[in-house]
Amino acid sequence: MSIAENIQIIKEKISNAEKKSGRTAGSVKLLAVSKFHPANDVLEAINAGQFYFGENRVQEAVEKFTPILENNPQVQLHIIGSLQSNKVKNAVKIASCIESIDRIELLKEMEKQCSKLEKNIEVLFELHTGEDSKSGFESPEKIEEALKLCAENQFPHIIPKGFMTMAPFTTDESLIRTSFSTLRKLSEKMKIEFPQFDLNELSMGMSGDFEIAIEEGSTIVRVGTAIFGERDYSK
């Protein structure tokens, strides 16, 4: 299967999952996760009409996407992996959104770098809901605290857009569903508490579980393997 064919298949599955759960057609965006895959694969996806990409390591993203972004102004890149503070400067240069906000310190550093660049950046707050991954804020209360600081206008270049999580790696569908519904409930609560922000994005669902995520309210599915194939971690 080519990358273009894989994208077509995923889009059909997204569309079916939207229908199945009574969601509006087109309400779920496909973020193509190209980590560990070469720039040529990204270009192949772009030729197939895919303009929305995710990478989890800043150095790799900068090398791969700097030329791609120069030549393809419609392409948007999200950083989805945990972000070290010393990588923020490069991350905010290339990304339109950082999905993996997991601490308030990170917002402070992003504000500093974004104000230098005079660039606004969108963010999603990552909640730790899975057993396996260690990434994300430990509790909804910590995310609420971060949003309060945003509401006090402490980070004028940072635009909160919603929430992100990774479900546990398990075949137990009920555990996966619980992870996604926990994030949705947090989002519903935060939307009421912070009506000044547009907190409509719910980034949840990967190759193995995106259909469940859509049923639970996902608006962004982050799909890597099902588009680009297995990753070669030895590289």
Ligand X SMILES: *Cc1c(COP(=O)(O)O)cnc(C)c1O
| Site of interaction with ligand X (CB under 6 A) | 33, 35, 56, 80-81, 166, 206-208, 222-226
In the complex, the smallest distance separating the C-beta of residue 205 from ligand X, rounded to whole angstroms, is: 8
Pairing of strands 76-79, 158-164: unpaired
Task: Output 126 or 215, the one with its CB closest to ligand X.
Answer: 126
Task: Output 165 or 187, the one with its CB closest to ligand X.
Answer: 165
Task: Output 82 or 187, the one with its CB closest to ligand X.
Answer: 82
Residue nearest to ligand X (CB): 224
Report the amino acid identity of residue 173.
Answer: E
Cα separation, 3 vs 61, whole angstroms? 19
Minimal CA–CA distance to 124: which of 227, 198, 35? 198
Task: Output 23 or 78, the one with its CB closest to ligand X.
Answer: 78
In the complex, the smallest distance separating the C-beta of residue 151 from ligand X, rounded to whole angstroms, is: 26
Q: Read off the tokens for 152.
A: 């006090």
Run of H or E residues at 110: helix 104-117
In the complex, the smallest distance separating the C-beta of residue 106 from ligand X, rounded to whole angstroms, is: 15
From residue 150, alpha-carbon distances to 36, 125, 156 in Å are 33, 12, 8
Structure-derived torsion over alpha carbons of residues 204, 27, 212, 130, reported in degrees to the nearest 10 = 10
Task: Output 109 or 126, the one with its CB closest to ligand X.
Answer: 126
In the complex, the smallest distance separating the C-beta of residue 10 from ligand X, rounded to whole angstroms, is: 10
From residue 96, alpha-carbon distances to 29, 170, 208 in Å are 15, 31, 26
In the complex, the smallest distance separating the C-beta of residue 96 from ligand X, rounded to whole angstroms, is: 16
Cα separation, 235 vs 181, whole angstroms? 36
